[in-house]
Amino acid sequence: MAANLYRFKYDEYGNTREIIVYASGASARSCSYINKGTAFTPEERKLLNLEATLPPGVRNLEGQVQSSRIKVEDKADDIEKFIFIRAMFDRNVTLAHALIKSDIENYIKIIYTPTIGMAVQKYSSMFRQANGLHFYPGNIDRAEDILRRFVHRDIRVAVVTDNQGVLGIGDQGAGGIAVCLGKLMLYTQGAGIAPWHCLPISLDVGTDNEKLLSDIQYLGWRHRRLQGEEYLSFIGRFVRAFRNVFPNALCQWEDFSQHNAFSIRDAFVDELISFNDDIQGTGAVALAAILSAMKVKKEKLTEQRFLINGAGAGGVGIGEQIRNALISEGLSEKQALECIFMIDSQGLVTNHRDMALYKRKFAKDKKKYPWISTINKIDLPEIIRQAGITVLVGTTGQDFFFRTEAVAALKHNTTRPLILPLFHHISTPEIFCQNIRKWNEEGVMVATSNPCAAMDALEDSFFISQCNNALVFPGVGLGVLASGAREVLPEFFTAAAYAISEMMNPDDLGKGRLVPPVNMIRQVGKTVALAVAMVAVKRGVSRPCVYSDFQHDNDETRMKKLIDRIRWKPEYLPLVAM
């Protein structure tokens, strides 16, 4: 999309007020930010030389949305619906977002999980139009020049992946950028960050997926993944280029392998305004559900004992957020960590064996817990009994974890257990859903992860919440941008979790709802943004107020006003022909 076709005109808060259009005729309609399709008014058609190129009737945005919904429902399956909505986005970005907003609870399953998993795997075969940027060893040295092409769009959020740890299905090569596209659509829906301020980026360092390497249609860099110093050098070159071009933009790391996820998050925390959603977003939404469960139980967080199955990015991220919350509730770090037990592929994490640094803090000492030496390392019911576990979290779907014996052991420790099956259950077995239903009826509180057909039915019947990261990262991003935060602090995610939990009223909690439904993504985004912005102000990492019309307001009122004014809505903007 050529920069000389248009220019955005902003108000003093950075919100787009109108689009200055230098193109006319077919070239004007070819730009997805300018194009209104049948909604171009008669005056706009004259100004942009579109007369006679459209039928004479004018269909407004509302009418376009109604027509589009019918077309979506006519599609044969979810992947065809995905293709239709993505094609609409490439043609008319405002209409695409207005359509999604009209039924976010339904369309989020199309533009993001679970359908996005299929879109990732079919990326090369169904490729239609380029979106975002693909850096690979052949162009990474020119990254800064390439990024500067997008300065006219005032990029504020980038979602960046190396495509290795995609949605529980692993190394997907160039197709991983589809996840970035989906996440950025949720930034727009939940936070109101205009789509032209968003940039998806693939760091294509190769793939070890044999199926992709042998596929003649594969569009990625057809080499084995870079490793070691070569890999780190590639990432470093990207970071320097991005920092130089967009020093105030937020960079969200997405779908890195667990080892790289932690090392990159920590290595560049002082160079970029950045965070990792798989670690920190997952941790925050899980903590929000746990905090809500404490209100139902009428117990303190510090009275609980937690067992997390899965020591990857999500599991450790949840552990970190629970630790941070326990510290905020008055425990020392050592005391907080003693409340959290973790299981990895080798069983209970203990300090008698070698392990990655990122999970070492959760390792338990056999001298302090002598029962560890007397039980099978994957004897889950016995671990639950011995450790006094009251909250069971699973980020991986091993068969042995969420079983009747484990839940029975939980019930010996607490009358209201909490279980969080947070793995990607695209193909959830029916028996699992039947068990969830049974346990829920018996008083077990439940929140699951991304949806599938069986889980949808379960949620509708039993008010089982969905712990979706979309409740966290849009609001965190908006809070960072509104406050002008110079870094993303761990406290932002703790504040987000508490803010989400505070949104749950007694009626919702009484029905088993632990976090808001995804159709409240816009309200949640605003609430989270304010909480994050206020932490940034209190910690002194935000910019000073420069807006004269509310300089005399207190910090919270100022932030509320600013958040309201910078959020874009999917409505057609005025076009000014030049």
* Catalytic residue annotation: 112, 183
Rounded to whole angstroms, the Cα distance separating 322 from 389 reads 14
Query: Which ranges in 484-517 belong to alpha helices (H)?
Result: 490-502, 506-510
> Within 13 Å and on the Cβ side, how many CA atoms surround 53?
20
CB 474 within 8 A of CB 189: yes
Q: Which residue has the tokens 């030389």?
A: 49
> Within 13 Å and on the Cβ side, how many CA atoms surround 433?
19
**Which of 353, 113, 150, 310 lies closest to 246 in space, CA to CA?**
150
Task: Give the three-state DSSP class for 465.
Answer: strand
Rounded to whole angstroms, the Cα distance separating 291 from 132 reads 37
Residue 326: count of CB within 10 angstroms of its CB: 23
DSSP 573: P
Buried b (16+ CB within 10 A) or exposed e, 62-72: eebbeebeeeb
- Listing DSSP states for 16-71 in one string gives EEEEEE---THHHHT-TTT--GGG--HHHHHHTT-TTSS-S----HHHHHHHHHHH
**Which of 364, 352, 349, 365 lies closest to 312 in space, CA to CA?**
349
Residue 555: exposed, middle, or buried by beta-carbon count in 10 A (0-12, 13-18, 19+)? middle
- Listing DSSP states for 363-417 in one string gives PBPTTT-GGGGGS-TT-HHHHHHHHT--EEEESS--TTTS-HHHHHHHHHH-SS-
Report residue 250: phi and psi, to 5°.
Answer: -90, 135
